[in-house]
Structure 1
């Protein structure tokens, strides 16, 4: 794998802010003028003004239009578009035009096509039909990015470089010969020698020991289960390689335009293939795409999770919502149009959780192509449509929220998420089919319904400042990362850890001596053996913190003993382990604060909770309420069910976003100030209309 570093003349301090020249929040979307004749392009500019658009992403899929034949270039249409947008006061996130290789390139160089794990070649005719590992494709892509940068380096409309597009969306795992070569290079760099690789992969099992790096292959389809650590390392390698591809294009841009910031649109919350926490330092601003699943009644909760995760990747800094949809998409089994007010709620929920931009795919709905039924800001029905009128209304709302720009989300709870743990947890050779996101979603939704805003953070991040730390199914964890969770409890935080956490180290090797391995001492529990439940089987769990009669649990139980001083919060009533502990709590002795200001003063005692089974939703809700109450993170006044309340804070102001996801008016206590959307004074109690949004600058 080729590793590039930023050009020697690059000075991060000289890079201007991505939203320099914008007044307030950004509003716009992907613009594809190459799909339309010039009279429509002229109309586009006028309609953008009407809607309040102030930024667009441009030329994302334009390679074959810019270079229809190798070495022949047509820049005139793009020159004109850039000039028109600038004249209209619209900024541009200009793409490298590399997100789809032109047909002449794949025909001339079929060796750049990616392959699946069964060795089948994926052919030209869609997008991202290239291997990012092949040096021929890499050279062509770098050359195209350089041409775009040199041509528009000093154009006054240029605000931001949009590198490629949704990198790894369709080709996250490539098994081609070029990928195999790059994988071997990555392994040489990671392990240095074969002894370390063989030890990490446990190759004494099934006679897999390697005598040469040249013998190592990607995890192609094989006769039985693959080597777990090989699979895990291929996931790591693939994520690193996609990031390395981004870096190649970014550094090409930096050599020419060091003053222009760069980003690419992530897909946090919906794609597990890229470890986006490891990408964060290479993005001048984090950008994310989010699409709700129309069949999911909790789709607005998953939207919030994606937004909180984007903020976590950005280390709390404001970020860009680069894509979402005005209404239906085209790729779900049932592509439902959004209900009245849903687009506004979706958009402002992202802003509530840290976005300083509201952008869409795409500006104008296409007449042809695979996404012609994907909604857009300008629908097929044109401007005489409810959707267009809603778009104009949304543009006005985004403009009214200008003073929110740059503020940060207030959160005292953290939910720990880790991509390598996700990859390792979701492998097949486990006691039962535990799926990583199952518990992530269960505990996130419970906190959301309690009105507790949570930062979603990696285990490598310092957990100072959080009073509640939730660690769902962190199957794989290093010693250093496990220590951070322990330190949070020693500083006085309430920590909750669920089953199948701390089981293996970073090489996917079992931590011997009893489960849950890395967290055994912190929790004061020791599990001798797992007792997974069969499909459809459940147990009852009861205790003082649960409703009378207990709650049901499924999938997972454990044969666990507890240390002295550990409180059994709930036990199994039946099943394979009647009377055994199902939920425990340990008071964690106070540690010492390290800060100079506290001069080694003892911290208050923390608490470490262990949930050793898959609780039903009501069980999760009860325990989530108890730990949130114990940690002191519950809101002062609970919002009505279905009303989302999030606070953004600036140096001299606080903004309360209240988003009503129900079909009835809701009353919100303890909120008073000015509603930025309407300009009216709000007194407590405040009414949030059915399906509506209030954004209140609260009184000091």
Structure 2
């Protein structure tokens, strides 16, 4: 499926960023709508999402439709030149669906049912939900599919945020159908799940249920397949709505992903090919130790899902959210820096939740473009400034981030790694991915995020953090990359099992033994708070393993703990390339040092030296090469650059000065090295 450029959404005659928000006019009196449209023009807003939660307004009772308010809002926005990202309205069904079809409500792993009153109160496998939701989509698409203001279709909203896994009888039947298609025979299923263990063998399809809570640990193969099924089931709902839309409209179709640290329910590598535009929602999560680096990871991952093409930030926050234990407001200019970090990493559209802050409901304290304080506020002034800045950067749209460093990341490996009954409970997949990514970021590298088995053409260096589960084909793809001259770093607890969570016998790291030239006979988890000394002066925690060299050479060995003298970091010449193995959890400086050394030997250019908190990223294309420098620190920063600063419209001749807390974007002179 060919992708629709984000910049074409609002005006095909000229390149420009999309800029806007979710707009919920149903929460406001009609006289407010015109004032909102006027203020949107003032802020530079050109695309708003409406009808995201509109089902109960459009269909207050089954089959009784009322489009009067939606029709009026669309016309107000259109008259003010504001494009519409039109929601299908299916993200939260109305009360009557739960009342008339109680079996459409979701069931949790403990067998208890959840009820109407929040959002996404439906079972993804429910025939009643599917039937009524598609009827609604048909009505919306017939009525507004050809309207000139409709620039984009927004299917549902944050699909699977709350109800990705339903364990009811309807879901069980759908799960069995999915399993029959995947395995064909019960013998194949029993083999894949290893049901010879604990007398779990199935003799009839109807005996298979969803993996509800058990009195002991459950079957990991069943758990993995249920997560795959659940992702596919929700994708099926997306594609059903998409098919209805395409019957009545030529506008592109998408939905908002949730590439973020606290949600892992969908395998977005499988979803992305079905999007006309890849879009993501991202909010700073202050439960994490490093929110800014997680933002960068999410943005780079979204660009990876888009195949390197520009993408859209569908939702973010102008300031505080409402759903964390402590909802921390953004400091002055933090919102602008956050937004332009997304732009630097490939976003051609910036939007917020929401336009006008709600006065009621559970999100009433969530920030908005127009806050409770109104126009005389820090947030509003920065919203207007960001709109002006995006207009100045219009020529950046359509360009791509180019780097020769890649990191392998996989949702299915995340699911498998975080199952129970592993050598230690101190390893979580995303933590390991973030540690490696943050180390690369700290060294100044821009990173492409890629799926296992994806083409690594154009890259010199790839890092594979804790890829516990990997297929034969994907492991072979990495080996081919290295044999052809590429360089790779693989970290511990990688290659251990196949896609069915079956251990690869013969020594760890299983699928990567030959590539890495090592074989591990046993794992030695490390107690919390214990540091292991290494021969190069660095330290390690969490993990150690008894590594034997099978062609590789030891770079660093353990000098304390149970494995003194055993290799901790190894290097192996494989074909025309080199593969490194990190058999322990290196301290941050040690990890940075190994990655920097491996990247240098791979021929990756040494990044410009910068303090922690300064981002330096380039986007390139036919319109030029654009240097983004984002200074999150409280001190000024300078670097060499020549060209034109698009934000200040000034020439840069040799040195670019970036004040504390500011952003500069330079169209570089192409004759400047």
TM over 0.5: yes
1:572 aligns with 558
Is structure 2 residue 196 aligned with structure 1 residue 232? no
Q: Does 1:192 align with 2:162?
A: no
- 2:396 matches 1:404: yes
Query: Which residue matches 2:570?
Result: 584
**Aligned equivalent of 2:9, options 11, 19, 33:** 19
Residue 364 of structure 2 is matched in structure 1 by 372
Partner residue in 1 for 2:543: 556
**Deviation string for 1:234-293 (max 9, x for gaps)?**
111111111111111111111222x11100000013321110011011111100000002
Give the conservation status (yes or no) of the 8 Å contact 1:675–1:696: yes
Q: Is the 8 A contact 1:308 1:455 kept in 2?
A: yes
1:105 to 92, 97, 113: 97
The TM-score normalised by the length of structure 1 is 0.93
Q: Secondary structure at the match of 2:520?
A: strand
Change (3 A) 1:611 1:13: closer
**Aligned counterparts, 1:128-277, within 5 A:** 128-257=120-249, 259-270=250-261, 271-277=263-269
- 1:236 alignment partner, SS class: helix
Q: Which runs of 5+ in 1 are unaligned?
A: 1-10, 544-549, 591-605
Q: Which residue of 1 aligns with 2:662?
A: 692
User: Is the Cα–Cα contact under 8 Å of residues 228 and 508 in structure 1 kept in the other structure?
Assistant: yes
Q: Which digits, 9 at most, give the CA deviation of each residue in 1:57-106, with x for residues without a partner? A: 11100111111222222211111111111111111110000111111111
Aligned-pair distance for 1:132? 1.5
CA distance in 2, matches of 1:466, 1:530: 32
| Aligned residue in 2 for 1:597 | none
Which residue of the other structure, out of 437, 441, 459, is the alignment partner of 1:448? 441
CA distance in 2, matches of 1:421, 1:26: 34
Contact 2:58/2:66 (8 A) holds in 1: yes
Aligned to 1:383: 375
Q: 1:18–1:285: 8 Å Cα contact kept in structure 2?
A: no
Cα distance, 1:651 vs structure 2? 2.1
Residues 407-446 of structure 1: matches in 2 within 5 Å?
407-433=399-425, 434-446=427-439
Q: Return the alpha-carbon distance in structure 2 between the equivalents of residues 695 and 325 of structure 1.
A: 23
Deviation (angstroms), 1:385: 1.2
Is this contact kept in 2: 1:63–1:101, CA < 8 A? yes
Q: Is the 8 A contact 1:655 1:698 kept in 2?
A: yes
Superposition map of 1:600-639 within 5 A: 606-639=577-610
Deviation string, structure 1 residues 437-494 (Cα, Å, up to 9, x no partner): 1210011001111111111010121112111100000000011100111111112121
1:467 lines up with 2:456 in the alignment: no
On the 8 A contact 2:6/2:311 being kept in 1, the answer is no
Q: How does 1:341-360 map to 2 (within 5 A)?
A: 341-360=333-352
Divergent runs of 4+, >6 A? 11-17
Instruction: Please say if residues 118 and 221 of structure 1, whose CA atoms lie closer than 8 Å, have aligned partners that are also in contact.
Output: yes
Higher mean C-alpha deviation, range 371-380 or range 445-454: 445-454
Tell me if the contact between 1:19 and 1:159 (Cα under 8 Å) persists in the aligned partners: yes
The farther-off stretch of 345-354 and 488-497 is 488-497
Q: What is the CA–CA distance in structure 2 between the aligned matches of 1:633 and 1:34, rounded to whole Å?
A: 53
Paired position in structure 2 for 1:286: 278
Q: Deviations over 1:177-196 (max 9, x none)?
A: 11111100000000001010
* 1:226 shift after superposition: 0.3
From 520, 527, 546, give the equivalent of 2:520: 527
Partner of 2:652: 682
> For residues 130 and 601 of structure 2, what CA distance do their matches in structure 1 show?
53
On the 8 A contact 1:463/1:488 being kept in 2, the answer is yes
CA distance in 2, matches of 1:16, 1:578: 55
Instruction: State the alpha-carbon separation in 1 of the partners of residues 668 and 136 from structure 2.
Output: 49
Q: 1:409 to 1:122 in 2, by over 3 A?
A: same
Stretches of structure 2 that go unaligned for 5 or more consecutive residues are: none
Does the aligned pair in 2 maintain the 1:15–1:261 contact within 8 Å?
Answer: no
Return the alpha-carbon distance in structure 1 between the equivalents of residues 643 and 429 of structure 2.
42
Question: What is the CA–CA distance in structure 1 between the aligned matches of 2:135 and 2:5, rounded to whole Å?
Answer: 22
Query: Of 636, 645, 666, which residue of structure 1 is paired with 2:616?
Result: 645
Contact 1:407 1:648 in 2 (8 A): yes
The aligned counterpart of 1:486 is: 479
Following the alignment from structure 1 to structure 2, what is the Cα–Cα distance between the partners of residues 582 and 450? 22
Alignment of 1:316-335 (within 5 A): 316-335=308-327
Which TM-score applies when normalising by structure 2? 0.97
Identify the match of residue 517 of structure 1 among 510, 513, 517: 510
Q: What is the DSSP-based 3-state SS (H/G/I as helix, E as strand, rest coil) of the residue aligned with 1:684?
A: strand
Shift in Å at residue 588 of structure 1?
1.7
- In terms of mean alpha carbon deviation, does 534-543 or 631-640 score higher? 631-640
After superposition, give the CA deviation of every residue in 1:520-548 in whole Å (9 maximum; x if it has no partner): 001000001111112322211123xxxxx
- Secondary structure in 1 matching 2:534: strand
Give RMSD over aligned pairs. Answer: 1.5
Deviation at 1:361, TM superposition (A): 0.3
Query: How far is the alpha carbon of 1:686 from its aligned partner?
Result: 1.1
Deviation at 1:300, TM superposition (A): 1.2
Q: Whole-Å Cα distance in 1 between the matches of residues 148 and 6 of structure 2?
A: 13
3-state SS, counterpart of residue 35 of structure 2: helix
Aligned-partner Cα distance in 1 for 2:629–2:7: 29
1:64-143 aligned at under 5 Å gives the runs: 64-143=56-135
2:355–2:369 contact (8 Å) kept in structure 1: yes
Residue pair 2:317, 2:352 contacting (<8 A) in 1 also: yes
Give the paired residue count. 666
The answer as to whether partners of 1:450 and 1:634 remain within 8 angstroms in 2 is: no
Q: Please list the CA deviations of residues 37-74 of structure 1 after superposition, one character each: whole Å capped at 9, or x if unmatched.
A: 11211110100000000000111001111112222222
Matched, 1:536 2:529: yes
| Residues 567-607 of structure 1: per-residue CA shift (max 9 Å, x gap) | 211000010100100000011222xxxxxxxxxxxxxxx11
Separation (CA, whole Å) in 2 of partners of 1:203 and 1:448: 43
**Superposed displacement of residue 637, structure 1:** 2.8
